Amino acid sequence: MEKNQVIGLSLMFALIIGYSVLFPAPEKQPEPAKVAQNQTKTATPAAAAKPVLDSLAAKAVYGDFAAAATGQAQDVVVENDNMKVTFSTQGGKIKEVLLKKYKTYDQKPLYLITEKGNKTEMILPTNKGKVDISGLFFSTDAKSQVVAGKDSAQITFKLPLSATQFVAQTYTIKADSYLIDYDLQLTGVATAGNDPVTFVWQNQMGQFENDLNENRKSAVINIWQDNDLSDTGLNAVASSETKADAPVQWFTFKHKYFLAGFVAKNTGFGNGDFSLTVPNDSSVVKTAQAQVTLPIADIKAGKGQYAFYFGPNDYQLLKEIPIEGFDRNVYLGYAFVKPLNKYFFVPLFTFFEKYISNYGILIICLVLFVKFLLTPLVYKSYISMAKMRVLAPEMEEIRKKVGDDAAAQQQEQMKLYQEVGVSPLSGCVPVLATMPVLMSLFFLFPNLIELRQKSFLWSHDLATYDSIVNLPFTIPFYGSHVSLFTLLMTVSQVVYAWYNNQITPAQPNSPVNMKALGYVMPVVFMFVMNTFAAGLSWYYFVSNVVTVLQQQIIRKFVDETKIRKILDDTRVKIASGEKKKSKFSDLLDRSMKAAEEAKKKTELTKQELDAQKKNKK
């Protein structure tokens, strides 16, 4: 097997090693970690009921707001095309969010926010102490309504101290939007100097996809600060936490395909403490908690303007939202492949979506289009292999001539390459050029919400693995199910390896049996890909089949007899000086001369040392 294939297989090994580092095996789940000790007030479980306080106790806890400590909670429901949001007068807060266009993996309504699993606290620094207004009863004139067309709904919850002193929370929901604008006002309320308002948000992240372990790896808190994104808990199934000292512009509780986020429209949050804990409850993916401070000066100046986002983690949707960096919630891979996904594959996928409703067929079209673009590179690679096949008899003669001396073999082979004007690296470039494509899709497909719950053939969801057999036991590194798309991909890779071995010249003295390795790699990838998105395995399967067919077609247009004649003519022209050596040949020539000079120096040094030893005797 030639060098381009050796490099390709080496890159595959690197990819597997990278996978084992980036996606480690599940760790033993620890007990839920304690939330940061320096928080102003730790959020209590959302289901815990607050005791009823008498007037004296209420005065002691809530100060001037004691009158609002008792009351009857009422709900206000606002619907648009995308979501149904339930607000509560207790705390003047969001109680529940239903995403109307989506279902959970078991086809239940998808509640991104629930009363039981969600808790928020808004702690005001009054001149008589800190007061959590999240349990107080606000008043409102708003009624439940449906927003449609270009309309919007505005709901204001007010907590009055007097006619000129009040706290107001205003929510604005537009039709066909997942954003909820939030305006916090403090009018005439005496506060403790410049102490900030503290906002605490705890959310028990529900399981929306079928693989709990993969859900937990994907559950993170994304934080945007200093024009860059940081994530807490990515690829981890254990608890994690982080502290943001620099101003935070926004943060999101990110599920695999959905987001619940809080955004500062003006000055960012002063600082933040963020944590993710893994509960023993298998119905909860992770418990996310964020504590941020809201600058009191902004709120008093009428600049306490924020926004909530409750919706899909959809790149096409997020890039249209006027929030800096918000589209970065969709992970598009490492820095060197991200532009390829962002500017090529995502727009191309979106283009095909307009005309093809079946996503399995769409993936086939995507493969055909990419393979068409890469045809010149594939052709060049095939020509390179054809040249090597033509030179195979001469290479065999060299091996017989120099024996098992690997260094001498290499020198003679390099001389042969110089004579006929062939660069052994010419076939490597096309292979290396296709690697970013494979890696881009490796990162893109598992993060495409467009594939979520899209069925094709026997798979009910191309965004997760397809299972034709659920095993009663777990195979290490493989799982407890059998993915048929992964098996098909593996078979196609084995067939491609067999075909490739037929057209690749043998290398008898290679320290590694590369042809045998070509059959081992598909099995390794079968273990890696068994829990990956079925859409990705389907893409690789179709790609392997198309590659074999593509090479078969190219083969019909390549005449190895003509290639032999071209190489012979080139040999004559280079020998006569009619044709100049290529840059590679010049470099090779200089390298060989340098190697020969180094060899001579080594021999002379050895002779001198031997002479010195004889003289001493």
Kind plus residue range of the DSSP H or E element containing 95: strand 93-103
- C-alpha to C-alpha distance for 312 and 318, rounded to whole angstroms: 9
Beta bridge partners of 158: 139, 168
Burial class (CB in 10 A: 0-12, 13-18, 19+), 140: middle
Q: How many CB atoms are closer than 10 A to CB 117?
A: 20
Who contacts 35 (Cβ-Cβ below 8 Å, separation ≥6)? 42, 43, 241, 275, 277, 289
Measured between alpha carbons, how far is residue 251 from residues 183, 229, 269, 372, 482 in Å? 17, 9, 10, 41, 37
Contact between 328 and 315 (Cβ < 8 Å)? no
Contact between 211 and 333 (Cβ < 8 Å)? no
- C-alpha to C-alpha distance for 270 and 249, rounded to whole angstroms: 9
- C-alpha to C-alpha distance for 196 and 248, rounded to whole angstroms: 14
Q: Is residue 487 very low, low, confident or very high in pLDDT (cuts 50, 70, 90)?
A: very high
Least confident of 226-240, 258-272, 525-539: 226-240
Q: What pLDDT does residue 136 have?
A: 92
- Whole-model pTM: value is 0.77
Q: What pLDDT does residue 285 have?
A: 93
Q: How many CB atoms are closer than 10 A to CB 306?
A: 20
Mean pLDDT of the chain: 80
Q: Residue 467: left (phi > 0), alpha (psi -120 to 50), or beta?
A: beta
The string of pLDDT tens digits covering residues 376-425 is 888 887 777 777 777 777 777 777 777 766 667 677 777 777 666 666 66
Task: Describe the strand order of the beta sheet including 220-225 as a list of residue ranges.
Answer: 152-162, 165-174, 179-187, 305-312, 258-264, 248-254, 220-225, 228-232
Q: What is the CATH number of domain 31-331?
A: 2.70.98.90
Domain boundaries, the chain: 3-21+345-570, 31-331, 581-616
Q: How many CA atoms lie within 13 A of 577 on its CB side?
A: 0
- C-alpha to C-alpha distance for 108 and 453, rounded to whole angstroms: 13
